[in-house]
Amino acid sequence: MGAQNQNEELIFSRVPAFAGEDAGTFAGQNGMELRVYKNVGRRDTETYLKTLYDAGFTPLQVREPNGNFFAALQKENLRLNLLFTPCDGELRITACENEETPRLSPTGCVGSAGTAFYAFENDQTLIDCGMCMLVQCPDHSFFVVDSGHYFQPNDNDRLYRFMRERTPAGKKVTVCGWLITHAHTDHVCKLMDYLLYNTGDTVIEGFYQNILPPDYAVWDGNHEEADVAAKLCAMLADYPAPVYTLHTGMRFYVRNLAFDVLSTHEDLHPAFIEDYNDSSTVVMLEAEGSRVFIPGDAAVQAGAKMEARWGETLKCDVVQIAHHGHTGLSARCYELLGADTAIFPVTRVMFEQELPRKEANRRAIEIASQYFITGDGTVCVPLPYKRETVTKLPDETLEDFAKIHRLWKYEYTDAYKAYIYETFLQNGGDPAKLQLPTRPEGWIEPK
C-alpha cells in the first residue's frame, strides 16, 4: 500500500491533475486507486470540479453533508469519487475502471410487510463475538449486514430460516443487498457459508463493501484473518451478483432504504491503519423517517474522523454499539449520536464483564431510554421508530461453559452459570430447542 504502480499511473493519466500538496497514492481493491491531498480549500475543490466537468466527466451524485463535499463522477468506464473535508483541509480522490456504483437516486418499494430492523442473535454457544443485522423491506426482501463467526456453525442455516419464515410461501428468499462492514472472521464467515450452502432458495441481488485489501499489513501477524479476507473477495468475485464499492460521503439507495456512508478505510490514509477494525465501512440507515447507525467494529481512528466531519448530523434513533462493546467509539461519539435505543451485539456474559470498564458503553446507556443485548434474543425494531414498539424475540442459544473452558480457558462460578441459565429461561429460551439440526451433508433446504 502507498507505492505507485503501473495501474495507478494509467488510471490517473486519464484524470486532470489536481494542483495541491500530494500526500500519497494508495492501492485499493480491483484496481481502485486513492490520492490524498493536504491543505485544500473549498474554492480549490470547486475549481477542480469544474476542470473535471470541462474534461468530459459527468456527475452521478453531488452532495454537501454537514459542510463536507462529495461528488461521484464518470467518464466512459472511469469512475471518480471526490471527498473534501474542511475540518482537516483534505481532498480524497478515488479512481477506478469499471467500478460497480450503487444506485445513487431514490427508489420505492411496494408491499405489505412493512419495514423492520433486526439485530440478529448470533449463536454464541462457543464464542462471544459475531454480528449480523437485517432490515426487512415492504416487499419481504432483506438487506443484510455481516453474518457471524466460524465457531457459530449453525448461523448460516439460522439466518436462512429467519428470512424463510418471513418470506411468503412459494417465493424465494430475496436478499436485496448484503453489506460487509469489514472482513474479520466473526463478521464474514457465515456469509461465506451462506454462499456455499444456502443459495438454492435465495436470490442475492448485490453486495456492498469497501474491504481493505487483504495484503494490507495490519493483521497483527494473524495470517488466518488475511487468508479469510482473500477467500471472501474471491468468492464475491465469482458469485453472479454485482459487488458495489462504497465511498465516504456517498448516499445510496436499496428499495425504500437510504444509506449514508460515513466512514471507510479510505478516510484514514495516509496514516497507517493500526487497528483493522477501523477499516469498517460505517453507514447510517434511514428508512420511514427514522435513522439507525451501524458502525460495525469502527474504533478510535475512524471514530475521531467521524466526530470531526459529521458532528451533530450523526443524531439517530437506534445505535449498534461498535465492536461489541469492546474498544470502539468514544463517549463523545455516542453523545453526538444521541440514540434512544442502544443495541450491543454480544453475549450477556461479555456485556457484564465489559460494561464496567468502558466509559463509552456507560455513556451510550445513560443517553438511551433502553438497551438490548443480542445474546438475549434477536431485537426487532419496526420502522418508523417508536420506543414502545421495540421487542425482543425468544432467546435461542445458551453458552456451553464446558466447551468454552476447553477452548478459551474462561472460568465461571456455578452460581454465575446458574444465573445465565435462569436469564435464558426468562428470555423465553427453550432448552429442548438448543440443539439445532446439523448434518455432515449440510442442512436440507425446501425445494
What is the C-alpha to C-alpha distance for residues 401 and 433, in angstroms, rounded to an integer? Answer: 18
Average predicted confidence (pLDDT) for the chain = 92
Place of cell 451478483: 241
Q: Are 94 and 81 in contact (CB under 8 A)?
A: yes
For the beta carbon of residue 179, count every other beta carbon within 10 angstroms. Answer: 23
Nearest to 100 by CA among 72, 62, 64: 72
At residue 66, the pLDDT reads 97
The rounded distance, in Å, linking the Cα atoms of 20 and 17 is 9
Fill in the DSSP letter of residue 425: H
Distance CA 364, CA 372 (A): 12
The rounded distance, in Å, linking the Cα atoms of 254 and 63 is 18
- Predicted confidence (pLDDT) per residue in 141-150, tens digit: 999 999 999 9
Give pLDDT tens digits for 422-440: 999 999 999 888 854 433 3
Task: Measure the CA–CA gap between 113 and 135, rounded to whole angstroms.
Answer: 11
* Average pLDDT for 51-63: 98
Which domains are seen in the chain, by residue range?
6-97 (3.30.310), 115-431 (3.60.15.10)
**What per-residue confidence (pLDDT) applies to 289?**
98
Q: How many helices (H) and strands (E) does the chain have?
A: 11, 22
Tens digits of residue pLDDT in 187-239: 999 999 999 999 999 999 999 999 998 888 655 566 777 888 899 999 999 99
Given a cut of 50, whether residue 350 has pLDDT beyond it is yes
Query: What is the pLDDT, as a whole number, of residue 210?
Result: 97
Q: pTM for this structure?
A: 0.94
Cell numbers describing residue 271: 496514516
pLDDT reading at 78 higher than 80: yes
**Nearest residue to 154 via CA among 120, 105, 119, 179:** 120
Mean pLDDT of 304-316: 98
14-23, 59-68, 79-88: range with lowest mean pLDDT: 14-23
Residue 222's pLDDT is: 62
**Res 7 pLDDT > 90:** no
CA proximity to 255, closest of 213, 286, 209: 286
Residue 260 has pLDDT above 60, yes or no: yes
Name the β-bridge partners of 144.
134, 178
State how far the Cα of 409 lies from the Cα of 404, in Å rounded to an integer.
7
